[in-house]
C-alpha cells in the first residue's frame, strides 16, 4: 500500500486594492444597516410585552407572583420612557425583559393555582372516603 501525499499551497494570496475596497464598502454598508435598525421604535415588542403583562395580571400574577409582576410592570414603564426619549435599543431590551418577567409571573400563578386545585381535590376525596365509611358502618 503506497501512501500518496498531496501538495497543498498554503501561501496567502496577495491582498489587492479591489479586495480592500470591497471590505471597506461592506463595513460601511453594515454600519448603515445597523444605524437604520437602531432608529426604529420597538412598537411590536412593546405590544407583545403589554399583552404578556395583561395575561399575567389575568392569571393572578399580582396575587401569586408579586415580585416578578412588579418587575415586569416597572420594566415596561421604563421601556415606555425610553421609547419616548427615542432610546429604541434600550426600550427594546427593557420590553423583552419585561415580557419574560411577565411570563414567569403568569406561569408561577398558574402553578400555584394548580397546586391549590390539587390540594382541594385531595381534601374532597378524603371527605368522600370518610363519608362513605360512615354510611357503611
pLDDT digit string, tens, across residues 13-47:
555 566 655 655 555 655 554 444 557 999 999 99
**For residue 82, is it within any domain?**
yes
> For the chain, how many structural domains are there in total?
1
pLDDT of residue 82: 96
On whether the CB atoms of residues 99 and 49 are closer than 8 A, the answer is yes
**For residue 125, is it within any domain?**
yes
pLDDT of residue 21: 57
**For residue 24, is it within any domain?**
no
Rounded Cα distance, 37 and 31, in Å: 10
The CATH number linked to 53 is 1.20.1270.390
**For residue 12, is it within any domain?**
no
Domain that holds residue 54: 30-136
**For residue 100, is it within any domain?**
yes
Q: Nearest-5° angle of CA 81, CA 85, CA 87? A: 95
**Tens of pLDDT, residue by residue, the chain (137 residues):** 566 665 655 555 555 566 655 655 555 655 554 444 557 999 999 999 999 999 999 999 999 999 999 999 999 999 999 999 999 999 999 999 999 999 999 999 999 999 999 999 999 999 998 888 887 66
pLDDT of residue 42: 94
The long-range contacts involving 49-52, CB below 8 angstroms and separated by at least 24 positions, are: 49/76, 49/79, 49/95, 49/96, 49/98, 49/99, 49/102, 50/76, 52/98, 52/99, 52/102, 52/103, 52/106
pLDDT of residue 133: 85
Q: Does the model's pTM come out above 0.85?
A: no
Amino acid at each position: 500500500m503506497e501512501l500518496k501525499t498531496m501538495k497543498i499551497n498554503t501561501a496567502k494570496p496577495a491582498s489587492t486594492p479591489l479586495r480592500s475596497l470591497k471590505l471597506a464598502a461592506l463595513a460601511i454598508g453594515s454600519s448603515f444597516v445597523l444605524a437604520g435598525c437602531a432608529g426604529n421604535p420597538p412598537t411590536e415588542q412593546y405590544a407583545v410585552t403589554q399583552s404578556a403583562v395583561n395575561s399575567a395580571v389575568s392569571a393572578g400574577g399580582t396575587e401569586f407572583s408579586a415580585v416578578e409582576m412588579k418587575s415586569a410592570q416597572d420594566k415596561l414603564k421604563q421601556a415606555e420612557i425610553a421609547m419616548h426619549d427615542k432610546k429604541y435599543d434600550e426600550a427594546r431590551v427593557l420590553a423583552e425583559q419585561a415580557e419574560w418577567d411577565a411570563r414567569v409571573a403568569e406561569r408561577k400563578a398558574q402553578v400555584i393555582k394548580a397546586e391549590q386545585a390539587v390540594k382541594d381535590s385531595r381534601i374532597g376525596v378524603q371527605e368522600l372516603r370518610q363519608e362513605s365509611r360512615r354510611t357503611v358502618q
